Structure 1
Amino acid sequence: MSRIASPLDPTGVKDLQETDEFTERLRQEILEGGLPRGDRLPPEREMAQRFGISRARLRQALDRLEAEGTVFRRRGQGTFVQPPPATDAARLKSLSARVSLQEVMEVRFEIEPALAGLAAQRADTRAGEVLAQAAQATLEAADQQSYDLADDIFHYKIAEMAQNPLFLTVYEAIRTVRAQANWAEKRAQTYAPETTRLLAQQHQVLLAAILKGEAVAAKAAMKAHLTFVADALLQNLPD
């Protein structure tokens, strides 16, 4: 049972303040790149020792950061600064070597508009705020790498907001295949800054439809966005 502070016993207030302060410190460490080992944070025990805090307080801070979309946690895999790989990533490795970019886009056209429509129907206020932050980050990205990270989070959050674990599993497979095929590097060589800017603006249109709860508009916005992505990639990249 949590302890409630009284005017004569401010312990609860002090604990809350200390958790707030540590959460902000941890947030800054993550955003500035001071913690990640690649995309994954160090184990909780190591982080607790580094910061000189209890693992319980560390978990409280991570709970908050997960809720706001700063980190992603998956049982058995750890804590990540961007969406984690699919649980069966190893099995998907051979598949990524066999499918073409066009084939992946065909699947995305079937799955992601449906996810956007469901997100519009089911998103709550907090999820919408996190999605808005990710969309804004794509607008403010200083370089292609920053855009790719924000774009990854934006699309993953839409898949989460659909609140359908089977759909999310399918989306994670698509995302993992894309990552293993290393198309992000090829995209960086292909996209002009103007292309990235237009994609970020399309995110705003998609975001608006989702936040308004307009499922049909969200589906249409996602389809238009993917069409632009496909045209930009397939015209310049071999299969």
Structure 2
Amino acid sequence: MAERKSVHEVEQELRALLERHNLGPQDRLPSERALADLFGCSRETVRKALRRFERDGVLWRHQGQGTFVGGAPATVERSLDRVIDTVSSMDLMEARLVYEPALAAAAARSATPEDLVVLRRLAAATGAARDWREYETLDDAFHKAVARASGNALLAAMLTSLASVRGRAAWQRRHDAIFREARKREYAAAQSAMHMAVVTAIEAGDSVQAHASMKLHLEAIRRLLILCEQPGRIVRQDTAP
């Protein structure tokens, strides 16, 4: 009978295995059965450990082919839900930079007076956020409101799928670091001003400016994200435009 081990213990043994065998990107791991025999635990425990590693972007899995080190190549076709479940914070920001400026431009052509009321309220509220959790909630609501203002239910639903990454612990820790190190009040105020610039362009029906304002906002977050990933760097809000 397999020894009862916690998922945490198996995670530690799995990390040691990766280091011991110097496994790098796209190297294949042994099967779940082989790992369970090696670690002396159940396949279910191995599966849970692998799932956690996959969520953190350490591994990727392809049904019928196995488990591999690193992130999945872009050439590998996977379902949207599975990609989103394992995407890195930087990949998310790159996707948002492509997608959300176009959403803002669409909103400039379609937003209703009711949409504008909601957008202005949320843009102002983000500037008064007291901590990163409140800011995350308000910022998420703002970006979803922009998507709804596009008048296209499919576009809004796709953004909701992208936004689901916010619920992952890794993203929350990363954004918490940005919020704290950029000085939370200054960060919230600066992002609120950028939100308001997006709303002003949407209200004016200026799709070109709405696109540019949303891109500027997201590029500022991406720069802060990059700085937070550099050891020893102190992030200040003046790194944003």
The two structures have a TM-score, normalised by structure 1, of 0.57
Alpha-carbon distance between aligned partners in 2 of 1:128 and 1:98, rounded to the nearest angstrom: 34
Letter of the 1:166 partner, please give it: L
1:229 correspondence with 2:221: yes
**Correspondence for 1:218:** 210
Alpha-carbon distance between aligned partners in 2 of 1:135 and 1:109, rounded to the nearest angstrom: 19
- The alpha-carbon deviation at position 109 of structure 1 amounts to 1.0
**Correspondence for 2:136:** 148
Which structure is larger by alpha-carbon Rg, 1 or 2? 2
**Correspondence for 1:44:** none
- The alpha-carbon deviation at position 122 of structure 1 amounts to 0.5
8 Å Cα contact 2:194/2:217 also seen in 1? yes
- The alpha-carbon deviation at position 169 of structure 1 amounts to 2.1
| Greater mean alpha carbon deviation, residues 140-149 or residues 219-228 | 140-149
Letter of the 1:128 partner, please give it: L
1:125 correspondence with 2:117: no
- The alpha-carbon deviation at position 112 of structure 1 amounts to 0.2
The number of aligned residues is 148
8 Å Cα contact 1:131/1:157 also seen in 2? yes
Cα deviations across residues 180-216 of structure 1 (Å, max 9, x unaligned)?
3541332112222222221111111111111111111
The verdict on how the C-alpha distance between 1:97 and 1:156 changes in structure 2, with shifts beyond 3 A counting, is closer
Flag structure 2 segments of 5+ consecutive residues without an equivalent: 1-78, 231-241
8 Å Cα contact 2:127/2:190 also seen in 1? no
* Match for residue 101 of structure 2 among 104, 113, 130: 113
**Correspondence for 1:196:** 188
Alpha-carbon distance between aligned partners in 2 of 1:144 and 1:181, rounded to the nearest angstrom: 13
Flag structure 1 segments of 5+ consecutive residues without an equivalent: 1-90
Alpha-carbon distance between aligned partners in 2 of 1:187 and 1:181, rounded to the nearest angstrom: 10
RMSD: 1.9
The two structures have a TM-score, normalised by structure 2, of 0.57
- The alpha-carbon deviation at position 230 of structure 1 amounts to 0.4
The verdict on how the C-alpha distance between 1:99 and 1:198 changes in structure 2, with shifts beyond 3 A counting, is same
8 Å Cα contact 2:177/2:228 also seen in 1? no
* Match for residue 208 of structure 1 among 184, 197, 200: 200
1:169 correspondence with 2:157: yes
- The alpha-carbon deviation at position 108 of structure 1 amounts to 0.6
